[in-house]
Amino acid sequence: MAGEPESAQQEPGEEPLRKRIPRHIAWWIAALSGIAGIVGAYFAIRPPPPEPATLESWAAEANTICDEEAGDRHDKLRAAWDNYYAALNAWRAGNWAPQHFAQAGTLFLSAAGSYLEVRGKIAKIKQPTDHASDIRDILASLDKLQGNVSGIGSNLRSASGATDNATVNKYLAQAKEQEKGSHAAGLEATGLLRKLGADRCAGTWQ
């Protein structure tokens, strides 16, 4: 309008700054409130953190695993030892055949596979941090046990393919040493498992 001061004139569609500022503040307050609500909802509905592993929970899981696997493992190992001693008796009597040692060797290798499977399941149990060193020792003893059982199988299979008595005796001597090693490792694993309270599991490795 003519005669009005220049400062009072306003372009069409232009809004005074003093009116726009409160609306911007209100928008930011609403946005921040919405974000706070989302964050609050997340913390309200998120699952609680998992409970730390205890020695009791570890031992209970180890017992369960060994209970489930012991029957099959024992059956395989019993068959392996029976065939092994039968093959040795036939060898000493001079009426052995290569398949005697081959069959026993195959059974030991099968038993070693079962040992390895159980060892793997025990390794996956959530561990109490204050007993991590003890559990590592248990797993190491199971590794030795499995390795010796597997070694017996490999040596017996090698003996079955030997063409002279000296070579057969060499493989049988190596198998005998690994037999001793398997018994020692089994006793070691048994003691360590009992130390951590996994008594039922301990009883399956003898």
Q: Tell whether 31 and 61 lie within a shared domain.
A: no
At position 165, the amino acid (one-letter code) is: N
Give the pLDDT band (50/70/90) at residue 4. Answer: very low
The Cα-based distances of 65 to 44, 47, 71, 134 in angstroms read 36, 28, 11, 18
- Whether residue 62 is found in the same domain as residue 32: no
Q: What is the pLDDT of residues 72-88, one digit of tens each?
A: 888 988 999 999 999 99
What are 5-26's pLDDT values in tens digits?
A: 444 454 555 555 455 556 556 6
Tell me the percentage of the chain whose pLDDT exceeds 90.
60
Lowest-confidence region among 50-59, 73-82, 152-161? 50-59
Does one domain contain both 18 and 106? no
pTM, two decimal places: 0.74
Length of the chain: 206
Are 122 and 36 contained in the same domain? no
Residue 20 inside a domain? The answer is: yes
Residue 64 lies in a domain: yes
The number of distinct structural domains making up the chain is 2
The rounded percent of the chain whose pLDDT value lies above 70 is 75
Closest CA to 196 of 128, 99, 119: 128
Confidence check: pLDDT of 165 > 50? yes
Model confidence at 202: pLDDT above 90? yes
Spacing of C-alpha 120 from chain mean position: 4
Range(s) of the domain holding residue 182: 55-202
Give the span between the Cα atoms of 50 and 46, in whole angstroms. Answer: 12
Of all helices (H) and strands (E), which one includes residue 138?
helix 132-160
What CATH number is attached to the domain comprising 111? Answer: 1.20.120
23 and 101 co-located in one domain: no
Q: How confident is the model at residue 196 (pLDDT cuts 50, 70, 90)?
A: very high
Cβ-based neighbours of 177, under 8 Å, separated by 6 or more? none
Q: Are residues 105 and 33 in the same domain?
A: no
23 shares a domain with 78? no
Assess if residue 37 is contained within a domain. Answer: yes
138: which 2 tokens? 């248990």
Q: Which two tokens stand for residue 85?
A: 């001693």
- 175 & 124 share domain: yes
The reply to whether 7 falls in a domain is no
Higher pLDDT, residue 69 or 51: 69
Looking at every residue in the chain, the average pLDDT score rounds to: 84
